[in-house]
A = this chain, B = another copy of it.
């Protein structure tokens, strides 16, 4: 079945550092709890996992923010922990506590036992959702597919859930580094297969979320996170029918290592809000596109302050190609959706203006 051609290609062009009419914008977690219609669908689904694993419902919530806001991309609604779940760790959610695994990895034997999941089998619900969203989008905007990074997935798998101190996974890093490398290599191969299956099903851009890379020392980051991000960049089928599929890497808390991230060969680097966008551009902006980087808490301010913050970011980037506007992390659940509308419109308005005045 052929997929409809892309009408709004701002995101793809900006990720490839080609000129665009205005600055494209999408928002991490744009399909999420701050939207009443999301909460209603989630209610209908029963559990968060049911929502992720039912393609029709995942498709519905993926599209919801596009009905409200003039966004330049859709991002597949899914969880970052689908791969460990497919590996058999038993993902479950406790309200207010985040994700947990029934069978965390604590011994080398646990790691040896793991296989690389076949995305066409254990993760079929994801690729089915990708195909469905592509059909429903009808070419309006591109669809972004994603995965967690090997290191980030490993933190949850070894800790058994979210962590503050990373006691077990960093204990393994320092005490049994070879065991951790075996886990990370299996995860990198799983992520490559998973993301290539998403591309095959219709994902038009890819993002890898290295949410916890920033808790590592510089050396540990290079050895245990960046190295596997590079393996993924090299393993992705970044063209489909001669159309490029750009890949964006995002290490939250990793702004000290921007140059090294840009050197992986990725197309774009996601930025959190702890770096000035003009500094980031100076450091790597001629090699990669940059995505970000407004503090999500700016959305708690009044519309005029939100517009001013958007203008400041647009001016910091200046009239170069290669900026995708986003927050520096996911949108918070308590944000007033109207405030996001103000932001999205302001980005397009100021993005047009800076190009016209140049």
A→B interface (CB under 8 Å)? 165-167, 170-171, 173-175, 214-220, 253, 255-256, 273-276, 279, 295-298, 300-302, 305, 309, 332, 334
Contacts and interface: CB of A to CB of B under 8 A. Distances in A.
B300 A175 contact: yes
B305 A175 contact: yes
A297 B174 contact: yes
Nearest to A305: B174
Given A256-B275, A274-B256, A166 B220 contact: no
A174 B332 contact: no
A334 B174 CA distance: 15
A292 B255 CA distance: 20
Contacts of A297: 165-167, 170-171, 173-174
A220 B214 CA distance: 20
Given A167-B297, A167-B300, A215-B274, 7 more contacts: A170-B295, A171-B300, A174-B295, A174-B305, A218-B276, A255-B256, A256-B256
Contacts of A334: 167
Nearest to A165: B332
Most buried by B among A279, A297, A302, A309: A297
B274 A216 contact: yes
Contact of A301 (B174, B218, B332): B174
A328 to B, nearest CB: 8
Contacts of A216: 274, 295
A295 B167 CA distance: 11
Contact of A220 (B175, B219, B295): B295
Contacts of A166: 297
Contacts of A305: 174-175
Nearest to A296: B165
A273 B174 CA distance: 14
The 5 closest A-B pairs by CB, nearest first: A170-B297, A171-B300, A174-B301, A175-B301, A217-B273
Interface of chain A, main secondary structure:
helix
Contacts of A218: 274-276, 279
A74 to B, nearest CB: 25
A49 to B, nearest CB: 22
Most buried by B among A174, A279, A298: A174
Nearest to A297: B170
Contacts of A173: 297
A224 to B, nearest CB: 12
B253 A253 contact: yes
Contacts of A273: 217
Contact of A295 (B217, B279, B309): B217
A296 B218 CA distance: 14
Most buried by B among A216, A301, A302, A305: A301
Contacts of A295: 170, 174, 216-217, 220
Contacts of A309: 174
Nearest to A170: B297
A96 to B, nearest CB: 12
Nearest to A334: B167
A166 B216 CA distance: 22
A166 B301 CA distance: 14
A249 to B, nearest CB: 18
A326 to B, nearest CB: 14
B175 A302 contact: yes
Given A167-B297, A255-B256, A297-B167, A214 B174 contact: no
